[in-house]
Structure 1
């Protein structure tokens, strides 16, 4: 096989319920000029057997690891051995939609100067039913987003779905990969590091789907509210210090971003049935003023995120 143009990094752990859907979505792309690298973190449910079933169907390499309990560390490992110029993540419960690779490769071929490519995604439930769209508040293709704009908007909220981006491997290694101390916000931190390096291009139509279900790490680990909030604060403070912007812009963005963290923490608390101080949250929202409200609404994608999760809760309680 010729050198692949894309490396697909697939960290797995006890993912048998959805993994076949994930791998089948790669298979449907019909692109053999990619490499898929899956690393299993000590699964006990048959995940490894499913991966091995696809070795002859896909250009797939399977690495069997010992249980580390850290998807970030395993992802960094397979990033270090990837061979393609471009890389993307695909988690065991997410899927690609048809023509994803054809469309994204066309964009990459036409715009080799762009550092980060991404697209809209769908929210789906455990049965694969679409719950809504997950869009990014960025200029639409064929316009590129400059680093300053992308960082400014990403600081307020991580609006990038894990299966959406394709990025340069060289850039990922340059920024040191993902921070292995951040079990919840490693992807947000990583996108911000990449954003500072160069321009991005956003394709506004959904080409992947992000699955919401009760057993996902996103849901399970968000129950630790103190750590959840602290990890968000670490990323915000880290990148505010690095961001080259006026004092006024930094101040205004920080105020909105702090409220966004409080809102995310409150939503996590509500999901897990924990006590939330809604009055304090309301006061912190009101002091943002109309300009702050608008920026938060635009950049946080709060409506899309909340309505998708509400639909899941309503369907499971019916």
Structure 2
């Protein structure tokens, strides 16, 4: 019987033929090699299958193709359902692992066997892996509060033990696409609040024009957050957060205010700033809220 790999790496993809080989190269160049790669293709219309066929034939990747584009949440669920690893991690098909990613994760898991969920840091990079910006990770002192105020986990560099990933799934509701990672991260913390951290930048998020966040639309975000907030109010999974539920709602409104800013929609920006403050008076302490509020006041004064 073939022993299970220590890590399962789940890579959802859709029409990313220009990126996925670079992503896979960063996996194949890992210092630690006890892993499996599961690529879940959402029925790409480019030549993804043709390009990946040699890797499939060599057994370097397991390839699962959906019959249509179900979006990333279902792809990640499909990956988890087929994973055999002790730990599982997600990697988008345009992002990177740095060479020590899995080795550091293995060592951390050996040294902290009680940590069923842990993560490393990630940064924004260009195609040459030149750092464009480093995300600001605050010390991990209160994961429950901190995830309520923003998704520091994202869906990269997170390692989830089999005991957890076999009992949790991504919300496949189409309208949530674009925020399914925050929903999953929140429920991941609810399942295992004592999240661990490797304080090292071991992943790169590739910045490019087709990146999802760069093509996001305000009206789509408004639709999904309407669903998200309804879920916060009704889904039993979120009862865990108790007093922090309003902080999560404020986080969503801050995000919408930021999108309204980028869309130059001042009245909507004002609305979402006010809604964030209404649900969580403590939101004024957050730097992103202060920045948005200052921008709104400045624009309003200039307009008058």
Given the two structures, how large is their TM-score scaled by the length of structure 2?
A: 0.81
Of 172, 185, 193, the residue aligned with 2:187 is: 193
> What CA distance in whole angstroms lies between the structure 2 residues aligned with 1:269 and 1:213?
22
| Aligned residue number for residue 92 of structure 1 | 93
Q: Do the aligned partners of 1:7 and 1:86 also contact (CA within 8 Å) in 2?
A: yes
> Equivalent residue for 1:233?
229
Aligned to 1:312: none
When normalised by structure 1's length, the TM-score is: 0.78
CA distance in 2, matches of 1:228, 1:137: 27
Q: Is the 8 A contact 1:6 1:84 kept in 2?
A: yes
Question: 1:128, CA displacement in angstroms?
Answer: 4.0
**Candidates 157, 175, 179, aligned match of 1:164:** 157
Name the residue aligned to 2:62: 61
Describe the superposition over 1:181-227 as per-residue Cα deviations: whole angstroms up to 9, x where unpaired.
13222222222222123321112221001223331233435441322
CA RMSD of aligned residues (A): 2.9
CA displacement at 1:3 relative to structure 2: 2.2
Match of 2:203 in 1: 208
Deviation at 1:285, TM superposition (A): 6.4
CA drift at 1:95: 0.7
Structure 1 residues 301 and 61: CA distance shift in structure 2, 3 A: farther
**Does the 8 A contact of 2:256 with 2:272 survive in 1?**
no
Following the alignment from structure 2 to structure 1, what is the Cα–Cα distance between the partners of residues 289 and 196?
Answer: 18
Distance 1:241 1:56, change over 3 A: closer
Q: Would you say the 8 A contact 1:94–1:211 is kept in 2?
A: yes
Unaligned runs of 5+ in 2: 292-304
* 3-state secondary structure, aligned to 1:206: strand
Structure 2 counterpart of 1:41: 42
Change (3 A) 1:268 1:274: same
How many residue pairs get aligned? The number is 284
- The equivalent residue for 2:251 is 260
Q: Which residue of 1 aligns with 2:302?
A: none
